[in-house]
Amino acid sequence: MTQSQLLAIHELEASQPDRAKVDAWMAGRRFPIVEGGRVTFVFRGDADGVTLRHWVYGLESNSALQRIQNTDLWYLVLEVPPGSRVEYKLEIHRNGHSQWIEDPLNPHRARDPFGANSVLQGVGYEVPEWTRPDPLARPGVLEPFAFHSKALGAVRHGHVYLPARFRRTRLYPLMIVHDGSDYLNYASMKTVLDNLIHRLEIPDVIVVFTDSPDRLREYANDERHAKFLTEELVPDLQKRLPLQDRPQSRCLMGASFGGVASLSTAWRYPGFYGRLLLQSGSFAFTDIGRRNRRGPLFDRVVEFVNAFRAEPTAISERVFLSCGVYESLIYENRSLVPLLDGTGMQVKLVEARDGHNWENWRDRLREGLSWLYPGPLMMIYE
Amino acid sequence: MSTPRPPRAIVLLGAQRFDPTLGAAAAELGLDGPIATITAGWQEREGEDSDLHEHLGKRTINLRLHRRADEAFRADPELHAAHRKKQERLRHKQDFYRIRLEHELDANHVIRQRKAPPEILAEEEAASIGAIRLLDEYHLGQCAKVESEFDAAWRPFERDSIARHRHEIAEILRDTVAIAIAGGHVATLLNRLRLFGIAELIDGQVVLAWAAGAMAISDRVVLFHDSPPQGPGASEVLDRGLALCSGVVPLPHPETRLRLDDAERVALMARRFAPARCLAMPAGARITYRDGRFGSPHRVLRLSIDGTRAPVQPTDDLLPEEWA
């Protein structure tokens, strides 16, 4: 569709609609309305004003919807590139108050530990089929575990994923996932693992999903956390599970602060983790001064990233990064690539028209996991 | 003891999973006796061969090479440890080869995009292909070195753990008219074929091989997939094969693994492995190797250095490719 073509909302507006016309126009329609690269957000109801609230860095975050005269229909047209996913809410203003709500006309939601947002799926975006349960894929099992960490002085809980055909006589690579419960609950990671293993795109792998009750502290370059993983958890897992004991077979992964925790742990134990999967890592840094614009929560992150940037070394072998181009962290992640690359590590960055959210991280898992751990697909010719 | 005779004929076939043509091929060759089967590429599922047994008229005897290897390693822990170490060395070699290969392939891609006088481009592109070919050869040489060092140090055929099985296999083969080698995990299959020296135990039988089986008995095993999930695929050599039939690179499953309409990729594959001929073998494909020559092609496609592919005709004599 070209820019000059009339949108559905404009046709409606031109017809000087009344309630009946609006009813008829809305019947059977999907919202927001995606017409090529243009998207029409719609709200219907009494209000003094309606505002679109979204999480697209670089785009005006506070855009007002306009009302069609003599109706209770509000709309806003935005240009959204193909393949985009945009999370948003509607802010409804009434009687001097305002309330953020999920779009009642849009069934798509993205969930995270803090709640849910509505999701606009731009033209061409489809939920990858490999993220959905495949009845042909044998399911692996998740076993809960609890581990008392001396370094942290507390018990940490999590789950161990064992692949479907797990056998004690075989040796497996190990992945440790930060924010493990969130990856399982919001990024469908168990389903993804089952499917990718079934399709031979990744090998059978043991995955440990860990959680932290204080992630903003422990994941922000905390020596105790690195020690917990490397000197306590991995040796314990190695005693209990048939794991390949070599750097190439150990991977740390995480998103946002979990990405920082992965990189900083590998930095504290160079050469121990041969694979890193870092999604939308919060790699805040400064070129001058010590305080990043993101605030004190990032101070320890800035300290670490600045130190790494000052003296970058090959701490791992292969590093996969992904980041949404609609999140502000795209700047930090892009900046990191030449730095990592220059050390001799193999680096791959994948960008997506998406934001800082679990579905973005879910959608990048296939490319990341199969690049770090190519499955036997290249070996099997039946 | 008489000298073993080479295979009477070798038939390379496309995938057999959904529409098997193996039985028809065996019938055409007049094979009416017992057929030994090798399904080691199926790994732990090696014994799940009832469909194959039925398809070949219930006259198959599975050589169970995967299970035999497990038994041999259990009986001979020293050999097992040494074998594991060898495999680990090969994995490292493959990893380093892949790092260098990716750079050579990237260089080739960049050169192809450059604008320059045609004669300079042709020279530089040929040099780039030459570098890739050298790297492939180097890697094959490294694999051969690792294998020969292992053989020299451990002489596996002379160890009881292996010799006992080889004797049993030879006894089974004595009464068979053919050996059918199934596909599956090509590295595992090649490994088991080599561990028990199957090439040296063949005594005039016809060999029927498909998918990974066809790859394993050719000169060299080329791993390939043009569209893997992690990005554009780069073909790589895995190892030398058993070289029962020479001069071709069998490429099974071209329907899903090869972008045959991508002239650049087709040309690169053909030039890289020339003078061997790259043969795409879709399901239902068949070609026979007898007395050092290939013939009776059916549904086989040949990849050419000009980037095209064409069905191999019965009248084609499959001359070697000129790559430069």
Query: How confident is the prediction for chain B on average, in pLDDT?
Result: 95
Mean pLDDT calculated for residue range A181-210:
97
Using DSSP, state whether A239 is helix, strand or coil: helix
What letters, b where the CB count within 10 A reaches 16 and e where it falls short, cover A184-200?
A: bebbbbbbbbbbbbbbb
Q: Which residue has the tokens 């925790």?
A: A261
The pLDDT assigned to A2 comes to: 55
Residue with tokens 């498909």: B210
The reply to whether A367 touches chain B by the CB within 8 Å rule is yes
pLDDT score of A1 more than 60: no
Q: Tell me: the pLDDT tens digits for A290-303?
A: 888 888 889 999 99
Tell me which chain B residues have a C-beta less than 8 angstroms from the C-beta of A379: 185-188, 223, 238
Q: Does A128 touch chain B (CB under 8 A)?
A: no
Backbone dihedral angles phi then psi of residue A145, each to the nearest 5 degrees: -140, 155
User: Are A40 and A33 spatial neighbours (Cβ–Cβ below 8 Å)?
Assistant: yes
Per-residue pLDDT tens digits for B122-131: 999 999 999 9
Contacts of B183 in chain A (CB under 8 A): 380-382
How close does chain A come to B216, measured CA to CA in Å? 11
**Contacts with B323 (C-beta within 8 Å, 6 or more apart), sequence order:** B129, B133, B270, B271, B272, B274, B275, B305
Q: What pLDDT score was predicted for residue B149?
A: 98
CB B14 within 8 A of CB B25: no
Q: Which residue has the tokens 């390693």?
A: B73
Who among A346, A371, A378 is closest to B225 (CB)? Answer: A378
Among chain A residues, CA nearest to B233: A378
CA A67, CA A93: separation in Å to the nearest integer?
13
**Encoded amino acid at B200, one letter:** E
Interface check for B2 against chain A (CB to CB < 8 A): the answer is no
- The angle, 0 to 180 degrees and rounded to 10, between the axes of the packed helices B186-195 and B65-75 is 60
pTM: 0.90
The residue of chain A nearest to residue B40, with distances taken between CA atoms, is: A382
Q: What is the pLDDT of residue B315?
A: 81
CA dihedral A246→A248→A249→A251, nearest 10 degrees, is 120
Q: Which residues 169-228 of A have a C-beta within 8 angstroms of B?
A: 196, 201
Average pLDDT (A138-149) is: 97
User: C-alpha angle with apex B97: B92 to B103, nearest 5 degrees?
Assistant: 135
> Which B residues, 110 through 169, put their C-beta within 8 Å of a C-beta on chain A?
none
Give the percent of chain B with pLDDT over 70: 99
Listed in sequence order, the residues at least 6 apart from A105 whose beta carbon sits closer than 8 Å to its beta carbon are A31, A32, A42, A43, A44
Q: Do A380 and B230 touch (CB under 8 A)?
A: no
pLDDT digits (tens, 9 = 90+) for A17-68: 999 999 999 999 999 999 999 999 999 999 999 999 998 888 877 789 999 9
Q: How far is CA B213 from the centre of its chain?
A: 6
Residue B324 pLDDT level (bands cut at 50, 70, 90): low
Our CA angle for A127, A129, A131, nearest 5°, is: 80
Distance CA B211, CA A381 (A): 5
Q: Mean pLDDT over residues B237-249, rounded?
A: 96
Residue type, B175: D
* Total CB pairs under 8 A between chain A and B: 56
Q: Say if residues B260 and B224 touch (Cβ distance below 8 Å).
A: no
On the question of pLDDT at B308 being above 60, the answer is: yes
The answer to whether A367 contacts B185, with C-beta atoms less than 8 Å apart, is no
What interface predicted TM-score (ipTM) does this complex get?
A: 0.95
Q: Which residue is associated with the tokens 């731009």? A: A122
A-contacting residues in B 86-105 (Cβ below 8 Å): 95, 99
**Residue B211 C-alpha, separation from nearest chain A C-alpha, in angstroms:** 5
Q: B186–A370: do the CB atoms touch at under 8 Å?
A: no
**In angstroms, what CA-CA distances link B76 with B32, B55, B161?**
38, 36, 6
